[in-house]
């Protein structure tokens, strides 16, 4: 909203109004605003939740320190959602298809988490929203994202073609960082609808989902490629949102690792949406995607601001309202910037946490059938509880997981150059 106001003021030659044309200015404003909102409303929301006795039910009471967490207010994800949406509505371009998708994702997946928490807390049902309904909601979100990317004319990627010797091609930078400025990269390009994505550690680091249907030809191949892409979108949304949900078991664990992922995705969005950096790094250039840097800034500010209250010992838990929202945002963000194949690296902490649960459950069931007694791989799953059982202090576990997340984030960024 403020973007359009300051753009109008700039047309009236008001000094300083033109600064809001730049992504850097609006991103800085978004991160500062989200931090302030999280800090200001966080304390008030916590008091309201405490008065209404909206507390988290702790099941793992035999773990050291869990008794003290009984009664800690939950549904703190509302703080995160508000701290993301308000700055985005204020500073982002609301006519940008990617911003619209991220707003829909935040509200949609946040609503699913809210219903889950509501059932657990107010209906006193520890199971919360039935798993099939939760998955169905995530699948629908995946369909919305995939269909939007397929239908919208604004969703294109730029296919680079080397310009003939001595020919200069002028291209308008639509990243928002240099509005209206004519740039002259050493190559020309064509905007096309495409199912291409980025694959790490490969020299020609583009992978096309239509390659998975080599038997098809022409328009049929294109359509089937989009169907494969749609299936991948649904899988990523469901997997990552539930992965963050499983990781949310220690104070600050999911919040901190999500913040690291959000900052990294913001960096990737910026270089993918800036024609100069995309050309220099020889990566896929996605017009209009740079606007997501504003969203990533708000996301980072919201998670860091929430961490003020969620760090050990937590004054509030995010609940499924927060964890599902964070996971859904990370998943959809990675998909729209065509970096979803980087998720196993970038979101390695969430992946390992999810795998630990799947391995534990499958091994327990298999050994129970075979030996009549279930056996376990880990002392407890998800993995962070395994280390709790081994006697590690909660802050030490969280800090080490953060360090691992930072290392994985660095590796994800490095994949832009190392192929």
Model confidence pLDDT, tens digit, residues 399-415: 999 999 999 999 999 99
pLDDT for residue 50 is more than 50: yes
Q: How many CB atoms lie within 10 A of CB 55?
A: 18
The predicted model scores a pTM of: 0.89
Closest among 275, 267, 271, 270 to 160, alpha carbons compared: 275
pLDDT at 244 over 90: yes
Please check whether residue 383 is in contact with residue 250, taking contact to mean a CB–CB distance below 8 angstroms.
Answer: no
- pLDDT, residue 58, reads 52
Q: Which pLDDT belongs to residue 158?
A: 83
pLDDT at 282: 87
pLDDT in tens, 381-392: 999 999 999 999
pLDDT at 66: 53
Tens digits of residue pLDDT in 259-312: 999 999 999 999 999 999 998 888 899 999 999 999 999 999 999 999 999 999
Task: Please write the tens of the pLDDT for every residue from 141-155.
Answer: 999 999 999 999 999
Neighbour tally for 393: CB within 10 Å: 13
Q: Is residue 349 within 8 Å of 250, Cβ to Cβ?
A: no
Average pLDDT, rounded, for the chain: 87
Whether the pLDDT of residue 75 is over 70: the answer is yes
Name the residue with tokens 């298809």: 97
Q: Report the candidate in 324, 379, 371 with the shortest Cα–Cα distance to residue 62.
A: 379
> Which residues 6+ apart lie within 8 Å of 405 measured at CB?
256, 257, 260, 261, 348, 349
Give, as one character, the DSSP assignment of residue 162.
Answer: E
Q: Using one digit for the tens of pLDDT, what is the confidence trace for 184-205?
A: 444 566 788 889 999 988 887 8
């Amino acid at each position: 909203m403020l973007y359009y106001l300051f753009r109008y003021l700039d047309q009236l030659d008001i000094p300083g109004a033109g600064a809001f044309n730049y992504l850097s200015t609006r991103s800085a404003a978004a991160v500062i605003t989200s931090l302030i909102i999280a800090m200001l409303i966080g304390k008030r929301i916590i008091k309201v939740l405490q008065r209404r006795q909206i507390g988290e039910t702790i099941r793992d009471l035999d773990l050291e320190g869990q008794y003290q967490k009984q009664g800690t207010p939950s549904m703190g994800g509302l703080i995160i959602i508000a701290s993301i949406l308000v700055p985005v509505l204020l500073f982002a371009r609301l006519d940008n298809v990617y911003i619209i998708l991220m707003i829909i994702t935040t509200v949609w997946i946040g609503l699913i988490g809210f219903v889950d928490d509501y059932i657990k807390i107010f209906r006193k049902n520890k199971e919360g929203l039935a798993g099939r309904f939760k998955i169905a909601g995530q699948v629908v979100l995946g369909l919305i994202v995939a269909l939007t990317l397929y239908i919208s004319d604004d969703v294109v990627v730029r296919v680079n073609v080397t310009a003939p010797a001595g020919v200069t091609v002028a291209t308008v930078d639509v990243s928002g960082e240099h509005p209206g400025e004519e740039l002259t990269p050493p190559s020309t390009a064509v905007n096309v609808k495409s199912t291409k994505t980025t694959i790490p550690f490969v020299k020609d680091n583009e992978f096309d989902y239509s390659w998975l249907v080599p038997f098809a030809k022409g328009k049929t191949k294109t359509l089937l490629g989009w169907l494969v892409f749609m299936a991948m979108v649904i899988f990523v949304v469901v997997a990552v949102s539930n992965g963050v949900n499983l990781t949310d078991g220690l104070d600050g664990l999911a919040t901190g690792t999500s913040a690291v992922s959000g900052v990294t995705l913001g960096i990737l969005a910026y270089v993918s949406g800036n024609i100069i950096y995309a050309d220099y790094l020889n990566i896929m250039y996605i017009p209009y995607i740079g606007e997501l840097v504003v969203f990533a800034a708000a996301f980072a500010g919201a998670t860091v601001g929430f961490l003020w209250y969620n760090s050990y010992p937590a004054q509030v838990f995010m609940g499924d309202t927060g964890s599902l929202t964070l996971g859904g945002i990370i998943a959809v963000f990675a998909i729209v910037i065509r970096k979803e194949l980087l998720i196993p690296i970038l979101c390695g902490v969430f992946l390992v946490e999810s795998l630990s649960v799947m391995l534990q459950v499958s091994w327990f069931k298999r050994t129970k059938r075979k030996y009549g007694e279930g056996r376990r791989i880990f002392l407890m799953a998800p993995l962070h509880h395994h280390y709790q059982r081994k006697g590690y202090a909660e802050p030490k576990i969280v800090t080490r997981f953060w360090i691992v997340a930072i290392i994985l984030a660095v590796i994800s960024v490095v994949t832009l150059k190392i192929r």
